[in-house]
Structure 1
Amino acid sequence: MALNSRNTHHSTGANNPFLKRYVGPDDGLLGKNLYGNHWNQYKPNGRNVCAHAFIGKLADGSIATYQTLPWNHRGWHAGDSANDTHIGFEICEDNLSDPSYFVAVYKEASELCAFLCIAYGLTEKNIICHSEGYKLGIASNHSDVMHWFTKHGKSMDTFRAEVGRLLKVQASDKTTASNPKNLYTIQVGAYSVKANAEAMLAKVKAAGFKDAFIKTE
């Protein structure tokens, strides 16, 4: 699908880390946007803007991702041709100086990108931010996310490396699940009298074989 060929990484450019500013209506977790100016509606404030997802704080301060468009639907997030080819999500910015918030949304964003890469057969190399999109000539002239990441010692290269690590973990877990370890059962006796079988079971467990059991045939 052409719309799912890449992932584009944005941040909102405003000091408001709460999802309710951009996503609505309140589902009991978001909290209520008293001004009704969230982006999850037709032309908010007259603007043509709609990302596929937002990452930020719920009302209780925990971090979450909210999907606002189908992943294979054309978004309006890049200001240029990347709208036709890229999935775009926004991270709700705070004042850019809180390391704990940054670490939390950085982790959430990397996990979201890993999920999308697996879902659409992409790799970490397919991920760009808005400012990289501008340099490639496919997005408008915005600085996100490099104006924020560098304040915390991160870059898109470190971000892509983290997504790559998550993809390797997922691949390893999948391989392990599809190739379980062989299990071998050893029979230590066969008895026609139940009391004798129970006596042997007690001896085996006393020897340290806690998983021993009696099987009736």
Structure 2
Amino acid sequence: MRAAIIKKQLLFKIALACGYLPMSVGGLIFLIWWGAREFYALDLYKLERMGYDWALIALGILLIGLLLLVVFLVKKGKRGLGKSAVILVLLLLNYPVCRVLLGKRAELEQYAYVKVKNNTEQDHIALSIHPYFPGGNAVRLARGKGKVFRYTPEYTYTGDREYTVNTATLLVQTPNEKYRITLPPVKRDDCRRFYVDKDFILQNE
């Protein structure tokens, strides 16, 4: 008797897991990938690929969940309607969650992420990127600290369906000096990491 109860509970728990596991794992992969770009200007390409692969795996899990839901309903009948509704809601919830994540991914690919670190001998410098960040909103960095700038690079049409990235300038200000450093081309959906050395020359990190 007890074994039969445990078996029925196991069926419900597995079906339940098939509902929340796909969106939970997919959401976690997305948040780690997004956080790496937003806070560290790191593009985890392998993690992004893993997210697409997981979407295919999740589809299989959802189909298994639907099958288990039918089995659960057949075995429990009207007594299982409440639990079946919970499973069905979780299974269906994966669709809007997936839509939101894909929409957010499409939005984020319009941005470039540029991290600049203060490796000068100045304890505090002010940084901004022209023309995307006004000088009045410059970020102040202590020595050894960095900042990720997120912006949408502008392009110029050069003909024959070709576009070039418009030049951006890193503005560096100390209490005594101002420096204008031309940034290398940074395309949309790119992540780049730089530091300003003691001679106020921009270096790849």
TM above 0.5, yes or no, is no
TM-score (norm 2): 0.30
TM-score (norm 1): 0.29
Greater fraction strand = 2
Greater fraction helix = 2
